[in-house]
Amino acid sequence: MVSPVIKRYLLALDRYKWPSLATFAGILGISAVVALQPPPPPQYRAEGVLVQNAPLVALTTIGNEVQQRGQGIISEQFLLADVLLQQVSQELGRRGIDLEPETLRNRTSVTLEGEEDQVQRVTVIFRGADDDEAQAVLTLMFEAMVELSRVTNRARLGAIVSALDERLPAVEADLAAAEQALEAYDRTEGPAIQAALDGSLLGAISGGQQQQRQNQIALAGLDSQIQSLQQQLGLTPGEALTASALSADPIIAELRLLILETETALKLLAPTLREAHPDMQDLRHDLSVYNTLLAERAQEVVGGQDLAALPSVSDVRRNSTLDPARAALANQLITLSAQRAALANQQQALNQADGQLREQYASLPNKQLERDRLAQQVALNQALYDQIQAKRIDAEAAVAETVSSLTIAEPPTVTVQTDLPPNPIVVMAVGGLLAVVAAGAVAFLLDLLDSTARTAEEIEGILLDQDVPMLARVPALVATSAQGWPMLYQPQTPELDIYERLRSSLRRAGTQSEAGASPRVVLMVSSRAGEGKTTSAFNLGIAAARAGRRTLVVEADLRQPSCASRLGVRLDPGAIAEPLHYYAGRQQEPIQLVPLVENLYLAPSPGPQPHPAAVLESSEMGQFLADVRARFDLVLIDAPPLSRSNDALLLGPASDGLLLVTRPGYTDKSVLEALLEQLLESDDLPVLGAIVNAADGAAPQGAVVEPLPVASAPAPLIRSIDF
Q: Read off the CATH number of the domain in which 528 is found.
A: 3.40.50.300
Confidence (pTM): 0.45
pLDDT-wise least confident of 389-393, 632-636, 645-649: 389-393
Contact 125, 109 (CB under 8 A): yes
Q: Is residue 716 part of a domain?
A: no
Quick: pLDDT tens for 76-103: 888 888 888 898 899 888 888 888 999 8
Report residue 528: phi and psi, to 5°: -155, 170
Q: How far is CA 102 from CA 48, 89, 99, 106, 132, in A?
A: 21, 10, 8, 6, 20
Distance CA 124, CA 144 (A): 13
Task: State mean pLDDT over 405-421.
Answer: 78
Across 690-717, average pLDDT: 47
Say if residue 238 is in the same domain as residue 261.
yes
Question: Does residue 193 fall inside a structural domain?
Answer: no
Structural domain contains residue 484: no
Q: Are residues 412 and 512 in the same domain?
A: no
Contact 528, 671 (CB under 8 A): yes
Considering the domain boundaries, does residue 297 fall inside one?
A: yes
pLDDT at 705 over 50: no
Give the mean model confidence (pLDDT) for residues 235-240: 76
Q: Are residues 245 and 279 in the same domain?
A: yes
Rg (CA), the chain: 67
Q: What share of the chain is helix, strand, coil (3-state, %, to 5)?
A: 60, 10, 30
CATH number for the domain that contains residue 80 = 3.30.1890
pLDDT band for position 632 (cuts 50, 70, 90): very high
Per-residue model confidence (pLDDT) at position 504? 87
Give one word for 146, left, alpha or beta, with left for phi > 0 and alpha for psi -120 to 50: alpha
| 494 lies in some domain | no
Contacts of 112-118 with C-beta under 8 Å, sequence gap 24+, read 112/74, 112/75, 112/76, 114/52, 117/71, 117/72, 118/52, 118/68, 118/71, 118/72
Residue type, 199: G
| Each residue's pLDDT tens digit, 295-328 | 888 777 776 554 455 556 666 666 666 677 777 8
Specify which of 51-65, 151-165, 291-305, 352-366 reaches the highest per-range mean pLDDT. Answer: 151-165
* 464 inside domain: no
Q: Which range has the worst mean pLDDT, 244-253, 382-391, 512-521?
A: 512-521
Percentage of the chain lying above the pLDDT 70 cut: 81
CB 137 within 8 Å of CB 46: yes
Pair (514, 651) in one structural domain: yes
CA nearest to 460, candidates 660, 640, 682: 660
Number of domains comprising the chain = 4
d(CA 298, CA 369): 66
Looking at residue 715, what is its pLDDT?
31
Q: Once rounded to an integer, what is the mean pLDDT over residues 500-528?
A: 81
pLDDT in tens, 40-81: 777 788 888 888 776 545 556 665 665 556 555 677 888 888
Whether 384 maps to a domain, the answer reads no
The DSSP-derived string for 476-516 is: PPBP-STT------STT-THHHHHHHHHHHHHHHHHTSSS-
What is the domain range of residue 438?
A: 4-39+420-449
Calculate mean pLDDT across residues 404-410.
Answer: 80
**71 and 95 belong to one structural domain:** yes
Residues 303 and 339 grouped into a single domain: yes
Give CA–CA dist 653/707, Å, rounded.
Answer: 37
Residue 710 banded pLDDT, cuts 50, 70, 90: very low
Which band of pLDDT confidence, cut at 50, 70 and 90, is reported for residue 372? confident
Least confident piece of the model among 2-6, 198-202, 363-367, 714-718: 714-718
For the segment 127-156, the average pLDDT, to the nearest whole number, is: 84
Q: Tell me how far apart the alpha carbons of residues 515 and 658 are, in angstroms, rounded to a whole number.
A: 14
d(CA 637, CA 685): 14
667 and 642 part of one domain: yes
Could you report the per-residue pLDDT of 429-471, keeping only the tens digit for each? 888 888 788 877 777 777 667 778 888 888 888 889 888 898 8
Q: Are residues 582 and 599 in the same domain?
A: yes
Buried (b) or exposed (e) across 160-177, using 16+ Cβ within 10 A?
A: bbeebeeeeeebeebbee
Which range has the worst mean pLDDT, 154-158, 232-236, 558-562, 570-574? Answer: 570-574
Same domain for 147 and 82: yes
Say if residue 236 is in the same domain as residue 117. no
Q: Is residue 457 part of a domain?
A: no
The residue among 553, 618, 552 whose CA lies nearest residue 579 is 618
Q: Do 28 and 50 fall into the same domain?
A: no
Section 20-37 average pLDDT? 81
Name the strand (E) or helix (H) holding 15: helix 4-15
Arithmetic mean of pLDDT over the chain:
79
Q: Is the pLDDT reported for residue 631 higher than 90?
A: yes
Q: Which residues contact 464 (CB under 8 A, 6 or more apart)?
A: 470
Determine if the peptide bond prior to 608 is cis (ω within 30°).
Answer: yes
208 compared with 201, residue with greater pLDDT: 208
Q: Which of 248, 250, 279, 245 is nearest to 265 (CA)?
A: 279
Q: For residue 483, is pLDDT > 50?
A: yes
Q: Are residues 355 and 405 in the same domain?
A: no
Residue 661: pLDDT band by 50, 70, 90 thresholds?
Answer: very high
